[in-house]
Structure 1
Amino acid sequence: FQQRRMALRNASFVTEFILAGLTDLPDLQLPLFCLFLLMYVVTVLGNLGLIILIRLNSHLHTPMYFFLFNLSCIDLCYSSVFTPKMLINFTSKKNIISYRGCMTQLYFFCFFAISECYVLTSMAYDRYVAICNPLLYNVVMSSKVCFSLMLGSYLMAFLGAMAHTGYMVRLTFCNANTINHYFCDILPLFQLSCTSTYVNELVVFIVGSIDIIMPCVTIFVSYGFILSSILRISSTEGRSKAFSTCSSHIIAVSLFFGSCAFMYLKPSSAGSMDEGKISSIFYTNTVPLMNPLIYTLRNKDVKLALRKILSRRQF
């Protein structure tokens, strides 16, 4: 113990980190820069377009699109937490981020990721009420209930982000300062700490279990009831309509929760960190890109609203 204290006293404490990035191969830097720039532009335009469309069209002022509006806002902010820095890093020789900048990035990453978990859960509940209790839909999914669900989502995100960042700030980082990732993520930072990360790992497991397993169980139970209700519908047209309203959400949930669970609900190691980089591309870059495309291309109401706005502008 005394030797450890002396080592900590003699160590130079970290004031900035170096991000290892996706790859250290020079030939891949420019192609990856172009790819992720294109993905980011499509993500921003897609989510911003969906936000404006829902805001402008009164027919889309329903609970389903209220949640979709919030999801697009989250995805827009979420992708902007690390993608601009990631793009700069592809073009610079040394990918440096300050200690404060790293902790700020970690906080907002956790906040928007947890928010997305609960918004997707609220959307599953909305679909459950719409299909299983259509006559009570307007009463159950009142504006007060919708606002309460969203407030609860943001409150859980705030608490989760504060827990992760608060316990991360308590760790001491000594000489090692190269993060084996393209942004300041929780598990790669643990590997650099020169103090015990046991409490932090416990926090990750508890908060991760609450924010991934609890929403997943809620979504699975909701879709269990939805599936049983759909199978009781006699007409083929009614079944296909019910399935089409849920399919977009199922795709979004599978992508987001699957990649999150793979990253955070398993033991961490140097090898798994490299796998984790690939997995994290799905929930940091692909999901915010895919969500507006999934909900736009597979949704008749959104396509109709878009046609109306475009025809109005042309007129």
Structure 2
Amino acid sequence: MKIPTIPPPSQPFTETEIEDWMSKSSMFLQIMDRVFSRCFKISSEGGNSSGRSCPRLPLVTDIDWSKFTSILDLPSLLYLNSTLPVNLQTEWRLLFSNCLYGDSFVQLIQRIVCHGPTVIIVKDKNGHIFGGFANESWKKNSNFYGDSNCYLYQIKPHLSVYTPTGYNQHYLYYNQHVTTLPNGLGFGGQLEYFGLWIDESFSSGHSKAGPRNTTYGSPQLSITPEFEIDTIEVWGVGPEKKRDDDDDEGVTDEELASRKSILDKDPGAKAMLSLIGRGPLSEGLREGDETADSPEETKNTVISLF
């Protein structure tokens, strides 16, 4: 029996038409279901009566998607979220992106210090994508700190997570304005020889391993030990941390001062303004207010697989 041939279409299909067909094709739906269930940790929370489970997707908040495009695609987000502690997989918040806030180490630090666990994502000029997970808030410290839940990872060209080896406890490091120590932010290894380092200059970093990083067992994450930064994103993960007096523990006087208004620094000036009837005119203009000069009007967004 002769099998009939199917003539080619009179005009090429558009990307939208192909996506629509794939989303409705039972064969592709079965393939996607099998791939996701095999590759990612599955959450059956929510009482799905059909008995089918789906990968856990976090609630993603504080983003105006019309002005921002993440380094991560959906598979990368699913993969990274599945590697986090279970209690941190429910919510992601964008704390920093140099595409929004500029190539500024000061802006980076102001937006991540005392904001709880974070995922840092770096894309270098060669197109490699890698980063690290910090299981606690970043804080200025002349010594390494952190715990064994921290890790390094790579998204491109390989998908891998590198957890602590137990060789040392050099999980996290952040220091600034100290001439005798490295100034920047890093994961693992030794001073000047980090598994991942973002320099205070912001434009450069390094990933050194010979052949493996001592803290995380990771290889060199970039093509060359020294790399140039193209894009950095930092995401706060898990429920948003409630700020209280305990948040100031371990924070320097300089960092605390940067959060206060000039009127907070000089209560006498505030009282004098009130006495002469001028009032606290600058009461609404608080220095260090992270939202006062924010270039984005943010929205809450839920990423859905379906």
TM-score past 0.5 threshold: no
Higher relative contact order (CA 8 A, sep 6+): 1
User: TM-score, with normalisation over the residues of structure 1?
Assistant: 0.26
For the pair shown, the structure with the greater C-alpha radius of gyration is: 2
Q: Whose helix fraction is larger, Structure 1's or Structure 2's?
A: 1
